[in-house]
Amino acid sequence: MNNFHLNILLYTKMAILSMLAMAASSSSSAAANVHPVILIPGSGGNQLEARLTSEYKSSSLVCNKWYPLKKDPDGWFRLWFDPTVIFRPFTKCFNRRMMIYYDPDEDDYHNAPGVETRVPHFGSIQSLLYLNPTLKGITSYMKPLVKSLEKVGYVSGNNLFGAPYDFRYALAAEGHPSKVASKYLADLKTLIESASASNGARPVILLTHSLGGLFALHLLNRSPISWRQKYIKRLITLAAPWGGTVGEMLTYANGNSFGVPLVDPLLVRDEQRSAASNLWLMPSPRVFNESKPLVVMANGTHYTSSDIGRFLGDIGFPEGVGPYETRVLPLGLRAPQVPVTCVVGTGVKTPEKLIYGGSGFGEQPVEIVYGDGDGTVNMVSLLAVETEWGGCKNQSLEVIKIDGVSHTEILKDENALGKIVGVVSSVNSGISMSSLVVRTFS
């Protein structure tokens, strides 16, 4: 090979190295110029681990000897999500360990005696990618969303973080304790400040799914406006159930297996009733028309959104009435005075009315009337903040509707992911929303 060819090769190598360096620099620059994102999952999108102490009393030999099938050296095991829960004997074990209890003297909730729980990997996206990392193929949760964010400059642990929580617990109205949920808000606040500090003091984008949107809203409204303005760039909510759902009434009355085969809804009903977060998701009279029946009985009795307390008593859950009326009902939807984008699915049939036969709540509804929504959350709830915040000063809001996308598919559908990442990219490019105008996009 002569000198001419050697020089060509040398110049070619130098050019390639230069382009690679420029690409790396561009990528690094892009990552440095984006606002950090904190992902806040929905209720079932959190992982939960448990450990049993000597105070725990097993309900059966099966629970004592064979459940769970696997523990770590310190006794911790996966409580949610564990696929063995679909087997009837293990379902009973799961229920007892998963239930929480309201103490009227303390006016707060706590775990079952002898059960310790923890939420793994707070601050990281690790536990949000899959509901169970050993079953990645069937339990993917935020993995598609994370992959989409990585394509526009986000790096886990650098400018992309996760804030999982114990989804059984909920916040309470002012004057009522909520130890577990309040600690979560404190930890989330610290994470926001840390994420901002490690990214050049850039304010944070909160990107939430479902119930996570309610936690984010209440964190903002319980923080000084000066803190919000310093640390929050945008709140982006996906499928937020602002005013609860009619489907939650079915969960309380008859249990809900969410389509999981082999699981009897009645077997999981007590555990579902015990969760404070499920009470929080009952249809709110602030949002649902108080004259419109949501549950109709064969004898003519009916229940509207203003009858939730009576409904809880009539289904045989009177212990839920007090916490609902004092802790949940006063919770509002005050505007956070930071820019908000709501992304919602539409055009998916969603339970709107439950009709029961002569056996009453002893059997599943004989008919379910469907309306618009995302399959889980009713449209009136998804769009509740349009009405609540429409006339609020210093509150910008845009609503993006995506037809045919369900409550969970919003995290996986290519069109939905494109819209979500588009919003994030517009924030990073400095495109601002009007501070006074409510905008809706379909």
Q: Is 187 labeled as catalytic in the residue annotation?
A: no
Whether residue 81 has a cis bond before it, omega within 30° of 0: yes
Q: How far is the C-alpha of 96 from the C-alpha of 75, rounded, in Å?
A: 17
The three-point CA angle 282-283-287 to 5° equals 145
CA distance 434 to 442: 18
Catalytic residue among 257, 374, 381, 396: 374
Q: Which residue has the tokens 């029961």?
A: 356
Beta carbons of 336 and 314 less than 8 angstroms apart: no
Bridge partners of residue 353, in order along the sequence:
369
Q: Among the residues of 198-256, which ranges form H helices?
A: 211-221, 225-231, 247-254
Cis amide prior to 68 (ω within 30 degrees): yes
Q: Is 5 a catalytic residue?
A: no
Among 266, 182, 195, 260, which Cα is nearest to 35's?
A: 195
Burial state string for 107-122 with b = 16 or more CB within 10 A and e = fewer than 16:
bbbebbeebebebeeb
Question: Active-site residue 407, yes or no?
Answer: yes
CA distance 59 to 63: 7
Q: Which residues pair with 332 in a beta bridge?
A: none
User: Which phi and psi angles does 393 have, rounded to 5°?
Assistant: -75, 150
Active-site entry in 127, 178, 210, 284: 210
Which sign, positive or negative, has the C-alpha torsion 119, 320, 282, 295? Answer: positive
Rounded Cα distance between 388 and 398, Å, is 13
Distance between CA 189 and CA 297 in Å, rounded? 45
Query: Coil, strand or helix: which one is 132?
Result: coil
Q: Which amino acid is at 359?
A: S
- Write down how long the chain is: 442
Q: Which residues pair with 119 in a beta bridge?
A: none
Rounded to whole angstroms, the Cα distance separating 85 from 370 reads 30
- As annotated, the active-site residues are 210, 374, 407
